Structure 1
Amino acid sequence: MLFKKKLLVFPTSRVIRNFISNQKSENTLLPFILTIDEFFKKSITLNKLKYCEEEQRVLFLNEAIKNVDIKKLGISDNFTKFLKQSDYIYRFFLELASEKVEISQIQNVDTYDFYLEHLQILEVIKNNYINILEKNHYVDRININNHYKINENFLNKFDSIELHFEGYFTKVEFDMIEKISKYINITILFYSNIYNQKSLEVFKNLGLEIKLDYKYKYDLSKNELIEIEPINSKLEFFETKGFSSRLNQIAYIKSCIEKSVKNGINPSNIALVLPDENFASYIQLFDDEKYFNYAMGKSIKNTNLYQIANAIYLYLNEDEIKNIENLKFLEIDKSFVDKNLKFLWNKNVTKDIFLFITDFIKSKESNVELIEKYDELLYKLNIILFSKENNILLKDVFKIFLQKLAKITLDDVNSGKITVLGLLETRALEFDVVIICDFNESFIPKISLKDKFLSTKLKQLANLPTQFDRESLQKYYYKRLITSTKNVFISYVNSDTNQISRFANELFNKHIKTDTNDNFYKHILYDNHKISHFEEEIIAKIDLTKFTWSATSFKAFLQCKRKFYLQNILKIKEHSISLKPKPYELGDIIHSILEDYYTLDENSNELSFEKIENLFSKYKSSNPFLILDLEIWKKKLYEFYLHDKERLKNRKIIALEKNFECEFNGIKIKGIIDRIDSFEDEYELIDYKTSSSLSVDTLKNYEKSDDFQLEFYYIAMNQYFKTNKIQAYYYDLHNTELIPEIALESKLELLNQKFEELKEISKQEISFSKCEDKSICNYCIYNIICDRE
């Protein structure tokens, strides 16, 4: 006869690993151990029926909604959208099946028929779905109760079962447990506190009287209470801290770890609990010390494979500069994407096209584990998307693919000693130190998708778990975790839109402060990444007379020698991915519109305002910050059109955007003249200005001027046309007004003097110092480097 062992059943595999680790020092045979999910699967048989996996379930559900108006449920019948929304329907059916509640029972308690139409639609879908399962010889959790039998062969391997219960038994699950208890002795261990009384009703119905804050050991087979003992809280120290930024909590988390280890705590007995497990990806980015191991696995969002897939999706959705630059940064061949994918983006996709794209993405990844999980995902997606004729656009398929891809996690091996886990993973575990972040109303308690179709009141009447019941169960997990821990640190976001969970006041008697503590901890995260401003002097031997100066570069030199050096000597370019328009962008578009407007084509004999309006369409911008400005300028240029039309009755435009390069006082200058008009025997130079705060030098203040734009124009015109009959104007487009350069002659003398100074300083080393007037720094692209923010 084979030796029979005791079977232990725990809530999670992590508890099993913890249990085995604690038994290493014991000289004893280990019992057989399973998780509760494994126990249910092995304890039943399905009479040769197949279990329906997720990808098959989606196809069956999609078939079940044929000829059903599901739009009345607020759910789209579009296959792409239904892929995501089908989970709402399935979870609803699953809850009903798990609690042995029929839709007809809900209709009976819906006294005012408020949900009648919705329930009728859902009943049709449910019946269709179950019929499809049965026809195809599949079993799902929705119809499993009608097909399973107890697996006696499996149970006969053990002499008894000890089940550590943490959570909630559905009616179907407890029925299974009771049936199993007829074949083998089952002992259930559970805890009672104020928050899990709904979960313990199954034991109360068996006649067991349950008191709060006690641990129970109950023999289900004999319906006999074996042991009861009071739960004494181990909590010795707790602390709560608020932060204005979610990321700043990470600094506090690191501080708590350091503090605990210094107090002699073994790092393996420290846990970080995440109410929102997505926050793990941010913690990974800051885990320079390799403190953590991640029970939920590591997100792949920072891997090459996901980054490339996401970059292609973003670019094909919107080919703006930031997405183009992202392709370049990730070394993705834009021409390849344009040639092979862009023209297919809004067309129906085939399996071959989909495989071509996914193989291209896969070719950029080298992680073996990730490639294996990627291949598994593609196998499942191919079943869902291409097993039947589905007319789906490539962009929709790619979106589904990217959403599924983001859910892949990698096993976290050989990492730090501090465990990062979600709330459910903490069940039946004990630690010396627990750190809980994001203790906010938005995360604690978590909202369930199961409450989509019915109100809490109706669910209560139908004897279904309500939102309140689910919240209470989460609170039970938190209370169990905290009362079994010696030291607890809690952080939360405290801002206009975030507040600490109301549950905090139920857990702790002590008053919780709501101040923010960012400044006390932020140095932990940001010290190593602090921007180093360049404070050293820059002295160089440079012959400035060898430059070809534009009015813009000369203005930069006069205003700030440091800016000139960074821009024209080092040629440090401005960051160009931001959506915010550069100061010159609007002006450039208006200049281009006016150039095209006055450049008559063969089919145009007159200058109409309609032409200006059409040119605005040509130069339309996808930048949301510029769209409104351009619409305003379209109206504003009507005044210019009328003014200039009248003016040109006795004038003629002889040049537009004219390039020049010449010499003045032995120094080369260059530029582009916006416009040159001829009037009688004179020439008029025009510089368009779109600024609403145009300032023109006068005879009183010209000596402080650093703007010699019109003087550069004049010098070029004087040399090209060999005449002094030249007038220079700013065309103030904002106010539709021509403003003459009054101090032209005086500024030419001043420019001559400035060039002499250039020659002098070029004979020795030049100090490229920062400007004295810090107002110039406000809009300078180098103000961060110079610490002039």
Structure 2
Amino acid sequence: MTTFIFDVLQDLKNNNKNLSELTFILPSKRAGLFLKHQLHIITKQTIFSPEILSIEEFVEVLSQLKTITNTELLFEFYNTYKEITKKEDRDTFESFSKWAQILLQDFNEIDRYLIPQEKIFNYLSAIQDLKHWSLEENKTDFVKKYLSFWNKLHKYYNQFTKSLIGKKLGYQGLIYREAVSSLEDYIQNNSKKQHVFLGFNALNTAEETIIQELLQNDMATIFWDTDAVFTNNPNHDAALFIRQHKKWPFFKNHPFNWITEYYSKPKNISVYGIPKNIGQAKHMGSLLSNLQKNNPSLQNTAIVLSDENLLIPVLNSLPKSIIALNITMGFPLKSIPLATLFEALFHLHKTSNSFYYKDVIKILSHQFIKPLLNINGNDLSAKIIETIDANNLVYLNKGRILEITNEEASHILHLLFSDWYNSIETCLKNCQELIVSIKNYLEKDKPRHLLALEYTFRFHELFNELIRLNSEYNHISDISSLHNVYKDILNNNSLDFQGEPLQGLQIMGMLESRVLDFENVIISSVNEGILPSGKSNNSFIPFDLKLENNLPTYKEKDAVYTYHFYHLLQRAKNIFILYNTEADVLTGGEKSRFITQLELEGIHHINHQIVTPKVPIIQTHLNIVRKTDTLLKEIIPLANVGFSPSSLTNYIRNPIDFYYQKILKIKEHNDVEETVAANTLGTVVHNTLEDFYKPLEGQFLTPKTIKKLKFKIEETVTYHFKNEYKEGDINKGKNLIIFEIAKRYVSNFLDLEIKNLEAGDEIKILAIETENTILLDIPELNFPVKLKGKVDRVDIYNGTTRIIDYKTGSVQQNQVEIVNWEDLNTDYKKYSKSFQVLCYALMMVQSKTIHLPIEAGIISFKNLSSGFLKFSKKESAFNRNKNFLITQETIENFSEELKKLILEICNPNIDFIEKEVLNENH
């Protein structure tokens, strides 16, 4: 295939133009690179390279102004704003930046389209006055300030542009306006210079003026790239601007080069509807693999990403056989891992001097910080995190962090956690020093960290720019403003890829495809809201005022993308159009109108398919751990130390959990409790009651004794909360409520005791929090097996010995009842409470601490009104008769089931098999 650029060069050569003496002007720098590459094909001899400029570079030459970055432009504009606006009426830089960006865009549009400034600004002011408050006799101060702002727009513009021109600086629109002003001088001084404009479509008024003036003075030639299908159809937006340009006076007497007929030639167009972005990326990989069968190098093949967020998924989906690759888009700095570190730091310091533990952990765990805190093999970041978890530190400051570590880490920790509010200069200096520290670490193993070093260099440049802007303009007054400026610079910078710009597969955005032609084109995300981007009016200028002044609206912006889309199709032979079939919150799931238009044109046959990814059915398998000889040997010392009731019920619930916790010794990580956890509440209540009742062992309780304990509730509960909850705060929020609940639980329990005693009940405390360990008689095993546990309370109640287990959760009577003994080992949810109290009964009886018959049960603090919930054996599910006394027969029956359970645990033929456990409290 021949490209548009090749056709232009061939035409110039055929007309005996000296290519070396021409100045080529194109829509983009990238197109210039392709033009330079095509020159050696056209010319068979050595020549001097012609001057090749983008349109932006050309107008800079005309205007003699240098383009200023958007961020610095904002700082310059704030200077002007401060000069004109009274101090008491000024916005902060942060507030100013939110509306100033929009106003600067409007300044840019007004200048690019050469609109008389005073006229449009006066019109805007009059609209606001008329629309809102012109009829109000007594305007409020707010209204007066609002109207004053609109009245000052022209003054802002004049002083701002005057200041920029005085510094030989300008934004794009101002450069265009000044270029038009300087055009006459340029023509007089360069009358023999010949300019070639090629590949343009949508031109602003300044560009039209410049090109037409050069054409009229025989200093220029222009080549258009469009097709008869588009120009002959008055409703086709792909030629909306070209049809307007054909009406230029110059073309009444000169040919309009060119309107081609490439679009009508046969093409293979396939449209694929694919769910989700990842699906599109994966399908592109498949398409490229097929294309490689006939074109291994993928020469003349381009992937055009309408949504540039697809870049990384696409790169990860490319076939490994691709050798030459060029990416023109650049990788956004905001997507680089180092950006997450500084975003976390800004978030941390914007809140307060007291740092939230999750924010601190996020920074300390960052891939670029963790190595800096690994000093002499001592992982200080892990040490800080462990201390945070162990001491339940929900909020902490720099001083507390420094306490945990040694002096060697203090420099890095100062850089991370010093108070940024003290000084913006200090904040920027800390960030810059942090980057240097990261760089120094990475350079220790340079070959391995080449890419990361590139990251750090770009962020070094970014913070250098922030330091320069802050020192030169001094507008940044707080962290929030600095964060906004940082994000603005970050969003406008990217990390450029190195590739083969003229060879192999080309990956680009839609705008990078201007003037370029490819034989094979893959276009992604052809959805409404992406291509075209849809209606958006980020401007102070109303729609009707834009129409009156011939400023572009969403209609023109859509037409620009229509041209780019159809231009990609114009000379291509194989076209693959992909769109997302899934509904999206922002962009919807609708395919683009461009696809519908292609189908309705009827020029080409469209192969439309809906592609669904193959989703394999993954069979879920429950974990099975085989009981090897080694594993069985691990069970023996565990049995010798003693099984606890909770570990045995854990086995009943899920054997695999028992294996992890008791054999492998894997414990759950103790996270920081922001809100007091249920087990912490239970521990506090248990420990408080232990403190109260331990001194009363062997004594009969009296109402007077219990009443005295009530005065100690506040002090004792507070002590145990501080002991268990460490440095967590119990003085506000949910934690304060839980603290009060703990006191209420203890108080209500004591009230229940007093009520029973005053009613004539006799209670004697036998034991509180008693440790028990007994040897079980299991002849089938050739090693000792013990049962161990701690009983919360043993007392004699009206002559009956009771074993009591405290539960802060809710327990009902039916949870301590059984019908069939064999059910104890099968249903955790129903019988775990019964299993535990029977274990305690067995231990107490066998150790001869108490004698049968006895009662055993639970006191539930959430169900205190039910009193002591006694274990009972029912004859059948339908028989209401219950036996609450635990006798020798009860102990023997339970011992039999306990023996079966332990034999199962120790049986080499019964593996640890995972159970499908429902989510439940246990």
TM-score class, shorter-chain normalisation, is 0.7 to 0.9
- 2:81 equivalent to 1:65: yes
- 2:651 equivalent to 1:557: yes
- 2:74 equivalent to 1:37: no
Question: SS where residue 539 of structure 1 aligns?
Answer: coil
- Name the stretch that deviates more: 85-94 or 746-755: 746-755
In the TM superposition, residue 729 of structure 1 has moved relative to its aligned partner by 0.4
1:431 to 494, 501, 518: 518
In the TM superposition, residue 605 of structure 1 has moved relative to its aligned partner by 2.1
1:177 aligned residue = 211
Residue identity in the other structure for 2:298: P
Residue identity in the other structure for 2:749: D
1:504 to 595, 600, 605: 595
- Name the stretch that deviates more: 670-679 or 3-12: 670-679
Unaligned 5+ runs, structure 1: 209-217, 782-789
Conservation of the 8 A alpha-carbon contact between 2:327 and 2:499:
no
Q: Tell me the distance in 2 between the aligned counterparts of 1:404 and 1:653.
A: 76
Name which one, 1 or 2, has greater alpha-carbon Rg: 2
Provide Cα deviations, 1:417-448, integer angstroms capped at 9, x if missing partner: 43221110111122222222222223122258
2:241 aligned residue = 199
In the TM superposition, residue 97 of structure 1 has moved relative to its aligned partner by 1.2
Higher percent of residues as helix: 2
- Name the stretch that deviates more: 594-603 or 230-239: 594-603
In the TM superposition, residue 319 of structure 1 has moved relative to its aligned partner by 3.6
Q: Tell me the distance in 2 between the aligned counterparts of 1:196 and 1:735.
A: 79
- 2:275 equivalent to 1:190: no
Q: Tell me the distance in 1 between the aligned counterparts of 2:356 and 2:339.
A: 19
- 2:417 equivalent to 1:375: no
1:605 to 700, 711, 720: 711
Q: Tell me the distance in 1 between the aligned counterparts of 2:562 and 2:428.
A: 45
In the TM superposition, residue 267 of structure 1 has moved relative to its aligned partner by 1.5
Q: Tell me the distance in 2 between the aligned counterparts of 1:603 and 1:381.
A: 64
In the TM superposition, residue 363 of structure 1 has moved relative to its aligned partner by 2.9
Residue identity in the other structure for 1:605: F
Q: Tell me the distance in 2 between the aligned counterparts of 1:276 and 1:536.
A: 46
Conservation of the 8 A alpha-carbon contact between 2:197 and 2:220:
yes
2:131 to 114, 117, 133: 114
1:569 to 649, 663, 671: 663
Conservation of the 8 A alpha-carbon contact between 1:92 and 1:450:
no
**Pairs within 5 Å for 1:351-390:** 351-365=425-439, 366=442, 367=450, 368-390=453-475
Unaligned 5+ runs, structure 2: 1-17, 133-145, 231-235, 374-380, 382-400, 402-408, 443-449, 693-707, 758-762, 777-783, 826-831, 874-885
Change beyond 3 A, Cα 1:136–1:263: closer
Question: SS where residue 268 of structure 1 aligns?
Answer: coil
Q: Tell me the distance in 1 between the aligned counterparts of 2:839 and 2:92.
A: 64
- Name the stretch that deviates more: 646-655 or 17-26: 646-655
Identity across the alignment (%): 17
**Pairs within 5 Å for 1:270-349:** 270-287=301-318, 289=320, 291=322, 293-300=326-333, 303=336, 305-313=338-346, 319-321=356-358, 324=361, 327-328=364-365, 330=367, 332=370, 333=373, 334=381, 335=401, 339-340=413-414, 344-345=418-419, 347-349=421-423
Question: SS where residue 364 of structure 2 aligns?
Answer: helix
Residue identity in the other structure for 1:189: F
- 2:47 equivalent to 1:19: no
1:215 aligned residue = none
In the TM superposition, residue 340 of structure 1 has moved relative to its aligned partner by 1.8
1:662 to 773, 779, 784: 773
In the TM superposition, residue 87 of structure 1 has moved relative to its aligned partner by 2.4
1:411 to 488, 496, 499: 496
2:871 aligned residue = 741
Conservation of the 8 A alpha-carbon contact between 1:253 and 1:435:
yes
Conservation of the 8 A alpha-carbon contact between 2:624 and 2:912:
no
Q: Tell me the distance in 1 between the aligned counterparts of 2:50 and 2:164.
A: 34
Provide Cα deviations, 1:207-258, integer angstroms capped at 9, x if missing partner: 37xxxxxxxxx79xx8554554434345622233333332222211112212
Change beyond 3 A, Cα 1:287–1:345: farther
Question: SS where residue 518 of structure 1 aligns?
Answer: coil
Conservation of the 8 A alpha-carbon contact between 2:811 and 2:863:
yes
Provide Cα deviations, 1:339-393, integer angstroms capped at 9, x if missing partner: 4256545624332332222321343244454344323212211122333445634
Provide Cα deviations, 1:662-706, integer angstroms capped at 9, x if missing partner: 344253455566677886775552332536899614230442224
In the TM superposition, residue 94 of structure 1 has moved relative to its aligned partner by 0.5
2:824 aligned residue = 705
Question: SS where residue 656 of structure 2 aligns?
Answer: helix
2:267 aligned residue = 236
In the TM superposition, residue 190 of structure 1 has moved relative to its aligned partner by 1.5
In the TM superposition, residue 762 of structure 1 has moved relative to its aligned partner by 7.6
Change beyond 3 A, Cα 1:572–1:589: closer
- Name the stretch that deviates more: 714-723 or 259-268: 714-723
2:111 aligned residue = 97
Conservation of the 8 A alpha-carbon contact between 2:334 and 2:491:
yes
Conservation of the 8 A alpha-carbon contact between 2:773 and 2:843:
yes
Change beyond 3 A, Cα 1:514–1:442: farther
What TM-score results when the alignment is normalised by the length of structure 2? 0.68
- 2:528 equivalent to 1:495: no
Conservation of the 8 A alpha-carbon contact between 2:424 and 2:478:
no
- 2:556 equivalent to 1:469: yes
In the TM superposition, residue 485 of structure 1 has moved relative to its aligned partner by 2.0
Q: Tell me the distance in 2 between the aligned counterparts of 1:507 and 1:271.
A: 20
Conservation of the 8 A alpha-carbon contact between 2:528 and 2:534:
no
Conservation of the 8 A alpha-carbon contact between 1:55 and 1:380:
no
Question: SS where residue 102 of structure 2 aligns?
Answer: helix
Q: Tell me the distance in 2 between the aligned counterparts of 1:287 and 1:158.
A: 50
Q: Tell me the distance in 1 between the aligned counterparts of 2:556 and 2:766.
A: 79
Question: SS where residue 508 of structure 1 aligns?
Answer: helix
Q: Tell me the distance in 2 between the aligned counterparts of 1:494 and 1:339.
A: 48
- Name the stretch that deviates more: 490-499 or 280-289: 280-289
What TM-score results when the alignment is normalised by the length of structure 1? 0.78
2:751 aligned residue = 646
In the TM superposition, residue 286 of structure 1 has moved relative to its aligned partner by 4.7
Q: Tell me the distance in 1 between the aligned counterparts of 2:485 and 2:787.
A: 57
Q: Tell me the distance in 1 between the aligned counterparts of 2:647 and 2:490.
A: 50
**Pairs within 5 Å for 1:586-597:** 586-592=677-683, 594=685
Question: SS where residue 82 of structure 2 aligns?
Answer: coil
Question: SS where residue 363 of structure 1 aligns?
Answer: helix
Conservation of the 8 A alpha-carbon contact between 2:121 and 2:154:
no
Q: CA RMSD in A?
A: 5.1
Conservation of the 8 A alpha-carbon contact between 1:163 and 1:188:
yes
Q: Tell me the distance in 1 between the aligned counterparts of 2:766 and 2:487.
A: 54
- Name the stretch that deviates more: 136-145 or 677-686: 677-686
In the TM superposition, residue 179 of structure 1 has moved relative to its aligned partner by 4.1
In the TM superposition, residue 571 of structure 1 has moved relative to its aligned partner by 4.6
Change beyond 3 A, Cα 1:68–1:157: closer
Question: SS where residue 114 of structure 1 aligns?
Answer: helix
In the TM superposition, residue 290 of structure 1 has moved relative to its aligned partner by 7.7
Q: Tell me the distance in 2 between the aligned counterparts of 1:571 and 1:450.
A: 62
**Pairs within 5 Å for 1:464-543:** 464-497=551-584, 498-499=588-589, 500-509=591-600, 517-520=611-614, 538-541=626-629, 542-543=632-633
In the TM superposition, residue 495 of structure 1 has moved relative to its aligned partner by 2.9
In the TM superposition, residue 483 of structure 1 has moved relative to its aligned partner by 3.0
- Name the stretch that deviates more: 332-341 or 378-387: 332-341
- Name the stretch that deviates more: 103-112 or 14-23: 103-112
Provide Cα deviations, 1:522-573, integer angstroms capped at 9, x if missing partner: 67xxx9xx99968776232224242143333322323443343244334556
Provide Cα deviations, 1:472-502, integer angstroms capped at 9, x if missing partner: 2111211211233222222222234422223
Conservation of the 8 A alpha-carbon contact between 1:236 and 1:486:
yes
Residue identity in the other structure for 2:819: K
Change beyond 3 A, Cα 1:754–1:699: closer
Question: SS where residue 436 of structure 1 aligns?
Answer: strand
In the TM superposition, residue 731 of structure 1 has moved relative to its aligned partner by 1.0
Question: SS where residue 460 of structure 1 aligns?
Answer: helix
